Amino acid sequence: MGSRRRVAERRKTKPAVVGGMIAVVVGGAAFGVYALYGAGAAADDRTQNTSASAEDHKPKVKTGPLSATEVTTTATTFLTSWQQGRVSAAAAATSDSAAATALLTGYTKDAHLTGVTLTPGTRTGDKVPFSVKATVTYKGLSKPLTYGSSLTVVRDTATGKPRVDWTASVVHPDLKDGDTLVTGESGTPPIKAVDRNGGEITEATYPSLGTVLDGLREKYGKKA
């Protein structure tokens, strides 16, 4: 009888679904299911602990305002590298190395600017003004070029490192993002010929004076 009761009791046991697996809770099976849960929980705990440990060992990203040293050092690195023609190093000190590389490369290649001297001015907060002296050389002619510009240093939110906030105006204050600096022939400068009453004389109005106007442009246009 005792044996029959145990068999009957076993038959009354219903399957239990645990974690997507079907386990019959009978004798040692119950312990097995418990161990499965326990192992899973322990594994989860270990994963969480490992993740937390990895987070703890991650380098802290620096935040907050830039120090005077960070601004000055970053500006000096950028300007010195640019002046020395080390485009990659200069671009790496900016917030957009690709755009900086393109424009700084064109500064020499397309604008034909050489002998660049960059002199930083007095820092004001995160902004550093600087003066530019260079020589434009094109088809055997050379002319000096001087102008002033400025740069602003910002903190990279991903790395925490200070970087020059890149815009095309850093290279020249008249440049907009997407612009390039190019040196080339400007064409014949225009002149304005007027009659005794101050009215403009054009080739369209006086076709017979076309050659005369061309001669005036050739002779006086370069002085305009």
pLDDT per residue over 79-132, tens digit each? 999 999 999 999 999 999 999 999 999 999 999 999 999 999 999 999 999 999
pLDDT one-digit tens code per residue, 25-66 = 444 444 444 434 444 444 455 556 655 555 566 678 888 899
Average pLDDT, the chain: 77
The answer to whether 169 touches 179, Cβ cutoff 8 Å, is no
Percent of the chain surpassing pLDDT 70: 57
Task: Please give the C-alpha separations between residue 224 and each of 91, 190, 194, 197, 219, in angstroms, as whole numbers.
Answer: 39, 8, 15, 22, 10
Start and end residues for every CATH 3.10.450.50 domain found in the chain: 68-170
Which CATH number applies to 68-170: 3.30.70.250, 3.40.30.10, 3.10.450.50, 3.40.50.10860? 3.10.450.50
pTM comes to 0.60
d(CA 127, CA 164): 10
